[in-house]
Amino acid sequence: MTFSTAEHEAMRRALTLAATPAVPLGPNPRVGCVLLHDDGTTIAEGYHRGAGSPHAEVDALAAAGEWARGATAVVTLEPCNHTGRTGPCSQALIAAGVRRVVYAQADASPVARGGAEGLTRAGVDSEGGLCEQEARAINRAWTFAVDHRRPFVTWKFATTLDGRSAAADGTSRWVSGLAARRDTHRLRALCDVMLVGTNTIAVDDPLLTVRDDHDQPLPYQPMRVVMGERDLERARRVFGDAAETLHLRTRDPHAVLADLFVRGRQHVFLEGGPTLAGAFVQAGLVDEVVAYVAPMLLGSGRGAVGDLGITTIAEALRFTITDVALLGSGDSDPTVRLTMTPSKES
C-alpha cells in the first residue's frame, strides 16, 4: 500500500471529523471524509451527523460541487454500497467524477460492504488500510457489533475494598463518590443501551438516564432495557417518558443481545445487580469491565457478582487492566476507576 504525505494528513483530519463529539450515537458508524486536489490541498470536507443525514462522502461532495471531479476522496470507512435512508456513497463518488478513493477501514457490514469493488469496476482507483486501527478505535462498538453480530458489553459496578456493592441492610447509596457518579454518566452517554434486571427496578427504582454535572438530562438518551420474567409496576420510574424503555421477558443473555442487535444497538452498558452480572460473565458475554473501587470496608453485604461456580483459584476469571484513574481526590469520597478486559487465558 502506497499513500502520499497529503493522504496521510487528510486521513488524520478525517479521523478528527469522524470523532466530532456533537454527533449523536446511533446504528451508523462515525465517518469523516476529506477531498483533495492533485497538489494535495483540501477541496472540501464532511462527516456523518447521524442516522438519516448525508453520509460523510456525500457531505463533502456537496461542499465541493464541481471541484470534486478528478479529486481524491480520503475517508475513514470504505464507501458503502447500500441504499437505505440515503443512497450508496460509492455511486455518489463515481457520479461526481472522483479519481481516487483512500479509506481506512473496510466495511464488514453485510448490507453495506462492496463499495471498493464497485469503485474499482467503475475505473476509480481505490486503496484501503491507511490508519485502519485508528479508525476501528473510533468505531469500537460498531466494529465489534458488525464483526460479532451482537452488541459490545461493558459491565460497570461500584464496590468497596472487600468487594461489597451494598451493605448487609441493602443500602448502597453511595458506595462511590460524586466524581465517580459523574464519570458513570459520561460512560453511559457513550452507549446506546443501559441494561438492568427486574430486581434492580423493583428494589432500587432507578431513573436510568444520562445527566450532566448539574443533574440535568442530556438531549440524547440511551434505550433503557430491563430483562427478566417478573411483572413490574408501571409506576416504576424507568417506564416514564424520560427515555425509551424496553422490557425483554427472558433471563437468557444471548437472547437479549440478539434482540438488541436486530434493533440496531451496538453498545450495552450493564448496570444490573450481582445475579445479572453473573449471568453475563458465565455466558462469556462481558467484553469490558469498569469497576469503581471506594476506599471503605463493609465486612458483609451484597457482592458485586453472583456465584460463578468457581471453587479453586486455578479457575479464577482474570482480567487485563487497560486504564486506572483516581477520581475525586480533592473531595471526601475519592474512588479508583479500573477499566479491564477479560484475559485471553481465562
CA dist 215 and 228 (Å) reads: 29
Cell numbers for 214: 448539574
Catalytic residue, chosen from 45, 57, 271, 288, is: 57
Q: Which residues, other chains included, contact 122 with Cβ-Cβ below 8 Å and sequence gap of 6+?
A: 94
pLDDT at residue 346 above 60? no
- Whether 81 and 188 share a structural domain: no
Q: Give phi and psi for 119, each to the nearest 5.
A: -65, -45
Residue-range definition of the domain harbouring residue 138: 5-142
Q: Which residues, other chains included, contact 180 with Cβ-Cβ below 8 Å and sequence gap of 6+?
A: 158, 292, 294, 327, 328, 333, 335, 337
Distance of CA 329 to the CA centre of its chain: 28
Helix extents (H) in the chain: 5-18, 56-64, 89-95, 115-121, 132-138, 140-148, 178-188, 198-204, 253-262, 274-282
Q: Is 345 a catalytic residue?
A: no
- Whether 33 and 129 share a structural domain: yes
**CATH value at residue 81:** 3.40.140.10
Longest CA–CA separation in the chain, Å: 71
Q: What is the mean pLDDT of residues 248-276?
A: 95
Identify the pLDDT of residue 210. Answer: 94
pLDDT, tens digit (0-9, with 9 covering 90-100), for 103-147: 999 988 876 778 999 999 999 999 999 999 999 999 999 999 999
Cell numbers for 170: 441493602
- Whether 37 and 181 share a structural domain: no
Report the number of distinct structural domains present in the chain: 2
CA dist 12 and 151 (Å) reads: 27
**CATH value at residue 154:** 3.40.430.10
pLDDT, tens digit (0-9, with 9 covering 90-100), for 63-105: 999 999 999 999 999 999 877 666 789 999 999 999 999 999 9
pLDDT above 90: percentage of residues in the chain = 71
CA dist 135 and 108 (Å) reads: 13
